[in-house]
Structure formats: C-alpha cells, structure tokens
Structure 1
Amino acid sequence: MKKITILVPAYNEQEVIDQLYDRLNKVIDTVPNYEFEILFVNDGSRDNTVQIIKSLRAFDKRISYVDLSRNFGKETAMIAGLDYATGDAVIILDADLQDPPELIPEMIKYWEEGYDDIYAKRRNRAGETWFKKWTANTFYKVLQKTTRIPIQQNTGDFRLLDRRCVEALKQLRETQRYTKGMFSWIGYQKKEILFDRDPRAAGETKWNYLKLLDLAIEGITSFTTAPLRISAFFGFVISFFSFIYMIWIITKTLVFGESVQGYPSLMTIMLFMGGIQLISLGIIGEYLGRIFNETKRRPLYFVHEYNDEKVQNEMKQASLPKRGV
C-alpha cells in the first residue's frame, strides 16, 4: 500500500486547525487503498497551534508533527517537513484552507498516471485586493523574463510531489529559499490543475506587503543575475553619454571660448549619478549578503519535538525517520 504525506506548515493557526482536519478527514475517506500521514510543521507558533495538533494526534495516529524551536519562516518550515515526511508522495497544503483539500484525489489520479509534480494553478484569487493581484502578476512577468527557468505563474505551494522530487528538493539546502522557483528548477514531469482560490477560512494572513516584497527579492536574487547585468548596462550607457557630453563641453570651451557655466545642471547630473551608484551598490549588496549567509553553513532549522519526543539536533540527519517507518 502506497503512503502519502500531507504536509501542512502552520504558524499561529489555532482558529483553523480543527476545520482543516475535518475536511482532510472527509477527503481521505474518499481515497481507499492508500495509507496517509498528516504532517504538521509548527513554525514557532505563539498561540495554541501545537497543543491542538497534539490533541488531534492523541486519537488519530495518522497525524505527525514537527515542532520547530522558533519561527524560521514558511520556506524553511516546508523543507523541514520534506525532511521528516515518510510518504511515497508528499502533498503540500496551507493550513488556512485557501487551497481546497478536495483536489487531493485528482492529484493522486494524475500521480498514478506517471506525473511527478501535480500543481494547482489559481483561476482567481478570492479575498485579495486588486493591488496585491497586480503586484503578483507584475512580479511573475518580470521573473519569467529575467530567468531561464520557466517559473510557474499564479501557483502556490499546493501540489503533490513524487518521492524523487522530494529527494531532489532535500538536496537544495540554501538558507535564503524561494521554494516556488525550486519546484520549477528541479524539473520532472509536471501537471497543472486549475481551481478557484477561496479566502482564508479563519484568522489573518501572515503575509503583509513588506514580507511579500522580501519574498520577491528572494525570488529574483535566487534565480537570476539580471539585476547585476542591468546595473552594468546602465553604468555603460551613462558613462558613454557622459563621455560624449564631456567632449562637447571641452570642444565648445576651446573653440568658442565660452566660460564653463551650468551649476544647476551640474548638480543635477551629480545627484543622478550618485543615485545610480547607490542603486548599483545596493544590488551588489543583495548578492553579497546571500554569499555571506551561505558561507556561514548554519543548519536551516532546529527541532524542539517530533511526535512527542525531544530531538537531539546535533544528530538530526542520523535520526530522521526512514521512509515507510
């Protein structure tokens, strides 16, 4: 009997965990001949999320949980879940029920047909402002044009991954993660499922505009060096025109004997050039910061508990559960 892990990253989701479990339970009952594991990754929640998960596990042993030592962020919580998932396939599902668990049987059907990555693409984004939709579309267009990897648009983390996709993702241990791009980067056979996204079932979103901007920067700097090339291109163009302008000023002064004037224009050019230089230094700084963080070689996360047992993190790799155990 094949085993499927449903991976649910959770951060302060006490208001929706019970609803999520009820819907998952109904879906699982419609899919016979499979063994299921519901794996929650508690990402340092400050509410009663982990206590609710433990209470559910007390009467349903299909539930497992990884309790991280602090809040590491959703991207890290997902790789922690992949490390601890024991299924032949893993379905990543947000706890807020914006992505419907009722699509799981269809995902399993395509998985059995031979697809490795069955991802859900949104037809619409209910509960989101027009500005958020516009910025998301703009970001994906920019990312698709600046990278050689075909980044999927209007898709989230809701997908089924075959075990070989999971093992591939587990090898990508970079600290600053953009998992949506990694799904595309590893390749394999992919299948798209369209759906209408619902608003949150309860609670508030953890993704404000500042965090979304940070995620967008991670996406761009993780999968393309286009910003560095663009800054170099602007530097070349501005230097070229500055050289032409300098020749013009010198020639005009020598031939016509005009005195050098134009203090306002001179200050404007200096401020403009200073701004371009600061932007270029900022872009270089983003990439240098990534190099700095990667060279420290710190673990991606630490685990406080796994299924009611405290974890000795220095032996984490040796103590990870084996698939099928």
Structure 2
Amino acid sequence: MHLSVVVPCYNENAAIPLLVERLLAVVAPWQDSAEIILVDDGSSDGTWEAIEDAHTLAPIVRGLRLSANRGHQVALTAGLEAARGARIFMLDADLQDPPEILPDMMKIMDQNFDVVYGRREKRDGETLFKRLSAWGFYRFLNAMSDVSIPNDTGDFRLVSRRALDAVLAMPERSRFVRGMFAWAGFRQVAIEYPRAPRIAGETKYPLRAMLRFATDALTGFSTKPLKIATRLSFLSLAVTAFMAAYVFGSLLMFSTAPGWASVVLAISFFSGVQLLTLGILGEYVGRLYMEAKQRPLYFLSQETQPTTQNMDPEGEARVGPAPVRRLA
C-alpha cells in the first residue's frame, strides 16, 4: 500500500459524496495502491450510511465507525492506526483544506521530507473572531510551548510511515496530533494554500471546544503554566511583605487608615492568585489521572472492510497498540 488518506467525520452526511468524489479524482494516479479511510466519530446523522454507500460504489473507500463520539483528534488517531500506506494524507471532511494539492505534496516529499504540512495563507468564509482567535492561539501556544509548532497550520498534512510510527508510539490520551508531529521531528516543510469556506454543515469547533482543545495543546506540550503559577506565588508573597511593612509602619506612626477597600483588594488579589494556581495544577493533575487509567482511546462498532489478518482467535480486532473488542 503506497498511499492512505485518513478523514475523520462527525455529522458530515451532506459532505461525504463530494468529499469522496474529489478524493477519488486526486488519488487516481495511485488507485491500485491507495486507500481512503473515513472514520465516523459517533455521528448522529446519516454519516455512516453515506460512508457505506461510498464503500459500495468504490471499494477503495474503507469505513470505521467509533462506538461513541470521542472527538476529532481521537477519530483521526483511529484512522492513522488503521492506515497501511507508506505515505499518509490527512484532511477534514468539510473540504476547507483542498485535497487537490496532494500531488504537490507528494512531489515535495520525494525530496526526502517526512512531513509536508499545509499552512493557511488566508481563511475564506470564517468570521473575524475565528480568524483572530486562531491567529492568537498559535502565537500564544508557541510562546508558552517547549516545542516549536508551526503557525497557522492544522492536521492537513502528508506524512511518511516512519514519522507516523513515531507519533503512534506516543501513549498520551489527550491528543494534539499536529503538536505530536512537531515534537517527533524529522524533516518537515510547509506548503501554503488558501483555506476555502466549509462546503456543508457547521463547524465542529465552537468556542467551548476551541478552549478545551487549546488547554489540551498547552498542557500537553508545556510546563510553563506551572512555572507562571510559581512566579505568581512569589509575586503575591512580595506584595504581602510590602503590605505588612506598610501596616506595621502605620501602627508605629499611629496613623492607621480607616476603611475596607484596601483589605478587600488584598483579599481579592490573593484569592485570585490561589484559585489560578489551583486551576493550573488541577489541569495537570487531571491529565495524570486520565493517563493513569490506561483506557483505550476508542472502540470500533462497525467497519466496512474488516481485516481478518488482524483478528485474534477470540475475535478481537487489534487497532493500534491495544486490543479493541467489537461492540456490533
């Protein structure tokens, strides 16, 4: 298998037919040694039925259905673990990232690169808030992160088998795939492209999901928030010492100032620092708690093309590093 295309899908029923049509056209030069893997992330619409129809029309299309909605990054990981190609192409089902630049990516990878990632030179069809928040997110993440993560990029990329194997060897549960590829290293290069508007449906990253994603990215690749919490603690101690000196000085000079505004201000400041520090510590402790459980990332409930060579005698399908029991 030379090429695998991996597409996570969540409630993308309307987009699947056009997605498959464009992907089939793009992979035509490698159709005898290519596969298209569509991962249904527990959709509540007709996404799985659309994937089954696509598989019927084009057996090159494989479908994986997760037993529940696990999020974009886990669905992407499921597809990456199932991919058999020497090169793996990732994109989203909304077609904002054009699959037609795959041939250019393939040519660049022929120059001995392991990762060719797409960098958005402009973002059509997105709100001003979305553009500004995305711009700020990558710059803030790079300022805080211990790993340099390319600005204005997503999971739209072509990777080699050795780069993918390195990422799949990472056991963390809270996945930030683009950061994991950046951490893995190897030779990486960007290709710029204009991002198109979504062809159908609505975004799967509202503000709440974006904040959760940003938190996973930050806590997964940086300990700087913990260092900031420590520095804030020292700052609060310094302010406390200054205020204590002022109070005792006022007592000695018999010029105590009446009122409660300064007291309330001090209590609010120290309470805020303490709560912020506890919140940062809670995020890291929560990640440790989830990692310690060692639960599988996902379970498969259906698959359009089961691979019997990956089945053990007890009927367990092995997907990735851990056995996954089929639920249906």
Calculate the TM-score normalised by the size of structure 1.
Answer: 0.92
Q: Within the alignment, does 1:109 sit opposite 2:70 as a pair?
A: no
Alignment match, 2:326: none
Contact 1:173 1:300 in 2 (8 A): no
CA contact (8 A) 2:89 2:157 kept: yes
Alignment of 1:247-266 (within 5 A): 247-254=245-252, 256-259=253-256, 261-266=258-263
**Partner of 1:288 in structure 2?**
285
Q: 1:147 touches 1:224 (CA, 8 Å); kept in 2?
A: yes
Pair 1:155-2:158 in alignment: no
Name which of 268, 274, 282 aligns with 2:265: 268
Q: Report the equivalent of 1:323.
A: none
The answer on 1:7 being equivalent to 2:1 is no
User: What is the deviation of 1:140?
Assistant: 1.2
Q: In the alignment, is the contact (CA less than 8 A) between 1:5 and 1:87 conserved in 2?
A: yes
SS in 2 for 1:174: coil
* Separation (CA, whole Å) in 1 of partners of 2:264 and 2:76: 51
Aligned-pair RMSD on alpha carbons? 2.0
Determine if contact 2:2/2:30 at 8 Å carries over to the other structure: no
1:267/1:318 CA distance change after superposition, 3 Å: closer
Name structure 1 gaps, 5 residues minimum. Answer: 321-325
Which residue of structure 2 aligns with residue 20 of structure 1? 19
| Other-structure match for 1:192 | 190
1:224 aligned partner: 222
Question: Residue by residue, what CA displacement relative to the aligned partner does 1:44-67 show, whole Å, maximum 9, x if unpaired?
Answer: 111111111112212322111111
Question: What is the correspondence of 1:21-170 to structure 2 with a 5 Å cutoff?
Answer: 21-29=20-28, 31=29, 35-170=33-168
Change (3 A) 1:145 1:5: same
Shift of 1:263: 2.2
Q: Please state whether the residue corresponding to 2:270 is helix, strand or coil.
A: helix
1: distance between equivalents of 2:46 and 2:152? 32
Contact 2:3 2:30 in 1 (8 A): no
Identity, % of aligned positions: 35
Displacement of 1:121 = 0.5
- After TM superposition, give the deviation of residue 110 of structure 1 in Å: 1.2
> SS in structure 2 opposite 1:122?
strand
- Distance in 2 (CA, whole Å) between partners of 1:293 and 1:318 is 17
Distance in 1 between residues matched to 2:33 and 2:305, nearest whole Å: 21
Which deviates more, 33-42 or 11-20? Answer: 33-42
Report the counterpart of residue 277 of structure 1 in structure 2: 274
C-alpha distance in structure 2 between counterparts of 1:33 and 1:198, whole Å: 26
Following superposition, the deviation at residue 87 of structure 1 comes to 0.5
Deviation at 1:262, TM superposition (A): 3.5
Aligned length: 317
Gaps of 5+ in 2: 324-328
Q: SS of 1:90's equivalent?
A: strand
Q: Does 1:208 align with 2:217?
A: no
**CA distance in structure 2 between the partners assigned to 1:28 and 1:315 by the alignment:** 27
1:256-287 Cα distance to aligned partner (Å, 9 max, x none): 23346342211221122112111111111111
CA distance in 2, matches of 1:121, 1:314: 36
Distance 1:291 1:319, change over 3 A: closer
Superposition deviation, residue 241 in structure 1: 2.2
Q: Deviations over 1:237-260 (max 9, x none)?
A: 121121122123213312x23346
Which residue identity lines up with residue 24 of structure 1 in the other structure?
Answer: L
